[in-house]
Amino acid sequence: MFPPNRITFTVIAVVLCLFIRCSKETKTPVTKAAAATSATDKKTSSTSITKPVTTTKSTDTVATVPATNLSKGLCCKTENVIIIVMDGPRYSETWGDYTRQNIPGQFDIYHYGVLLSNFHNMGTTNTDSGHDAICTGNYENLENTGQALPQYPSIFQEFLKATGKPAEKAWVVASKDKLQILGDCQQAGWTGQYQPRTDCGISGIFSGYRADDTTFAHAKNVINTYHPNLMLINFKDPDTYGHSNLWSNYIKAIQTTDGYIKAIYDMIQADPVYKDKTTLIITNDHGRHVDNVADGFVSHGDGCDGCRHIEFLAVGPDFKKGIGLVTPYEQIDISQTVAKLLNFKMDYGKGKLMTDIFN
């Protein structure tokens, strides 16, 4: 009789032999897919020492971003667009101030709209050129006195031509008389054609600036009387009081203009012609120097961040709601986006469609 330890070793050896034989006879057939996986695993194993393992998922398992109404061709519900230009505040006194103490009205509107925090005027940072960029989608270095028309047709001319609607369906209402230039252009075939109605300054071009409260009253009257499909409103006081080097008056002007903006938004919401069918865009033509450039908030006109960084807030049936985006966009992109909303083309505009802001 073998010693106990030898019996144990013998039994174990027999069991192992039987196990190996059975596993060979009952082995599951390898499919092509399994073979490919096995080969891949071996290849990965052989290179794992020198090739880092990636944690990126394959494209068929990555969650896709839901298609927007824009990408699905369902745009747009907007029938009217109103652009309000708060002339010449610095971003640091509007959305750059995280207390929002100067723009409580706009902050309230923000909950129903979309804010772009990386929005810039990349052209000439003056009144005429800034408004020109908004309306034509082109950066031009216009003389800042109202002496020169923009070269290219504006959203107003393009809209009126495309739709065949009468002039009173497109309006420019501005405290600054020189902004009457937005109603026409130098381009052959467009000069003197498809012009919107204008109400600028005291009584038109070269008549002088008028008070913002007068412009506010005129804008309300135009909205209630004509219900324009496309409109731009300019409020001058932040720029005017900035140039006066009176900080308290400059801040007060921003706050007062914010009140006008909120009142116009409320008008839109209360008007059955406009409610749920109107997009409101709030922006600036330019900012002002940062504190360590030239004379600081008093002036503007160069390429410093204070002059270039401007606001863009939009609310309407086709836009996201209650969200801020850091996607970089520019002043010239406004015209292409307006054209998309109202279903016409900007033949000469160089901006791009701001796709990220759409639902």
Share of the chain above pLDDT 90, in %: 79
- Whole-angstrom CA distances from 85 to 155, 193, 272, 310, 329 are 15, 25, 24, 11, 17
CB within 8 Å of 249: residues ≥ 6 apart: 241
- Higher-confidence residue of 27 and 294: namely 294
pLDDT digits (tens, 9 = 90+) for 220-240: 999 999 999 999 999 999 999
The 8-class DSSP code of residue 213 comes to H
Report d(CA 204, CA 210) in Å as an integer.
Answer: 10
Confidence of residue 67 (pLDDT cuts 50, 70, 90): low
Mean pLDDT, residues 250-276: 98
The answer to whether the CB of 317 falls within 8 A of the CB of 302 is no
Structure tokens at 53: 């393992």
Paired tokens of 276:
């749920």
Cα–Cα distance measured from residue 257 to residue 210, given in angstroms and rounded to the nearest whole number:
14
Give the residue extent of every domain in the chain. Answer: 80-357
- For the full predicted model, state whether its pTM sits above 0.85: no
Task: Say whether pLDDT at 27 is over 90.
Answer: no
- Can you name the CATH fold of 80-357? Alkaline Phosphatase, subunit A (3.40.720)
pLDDT for 82:
99
pLDDT for residue 6: 43
